Structure 1
Amino acid sequence: MAFMKKAWLEWGKAFVIAAVLAIIVRMVLFAPVVVEGPSMLPTLKDSDHMIVSKINYTIGNPERFDIIVFHATEKKDYVKRVIGLPGDTVAVKDDQLYINGKKVEEPYLEERKESMPDGQKLTQDFTLEGVTGQKTVPEGHVFVLGDNRNNSTDSRILGFIPYEAIVGEAVLIYWPIDRIRIVE
Structure 2
Amino acid sequence: MLALTLTIFATVAAGLLTIGDIQTRPAIAQRLAEDLNAILSQVVPPELHDNALSKDVLILKSATGKPVTVYRARKGDEIIGFAYSVTGQGGYAGPVELVMGVNAQGQVLGVRVLSHAETPGLGDKIELQKSDWILSFTGLSFANLPRGKWAVKKDGGTFDQFSGATITPRAVVKAVKDGLDFFAANQITLFAKTLQSTSSGTGE
Give the TM-score taking structure 1 as reference length. Answer: 0.28
Structure with greater helix percent:
2
Give the TM-score taking structure 2 as reference length. Answer: 0.26
Structure with greater strand percent:
1
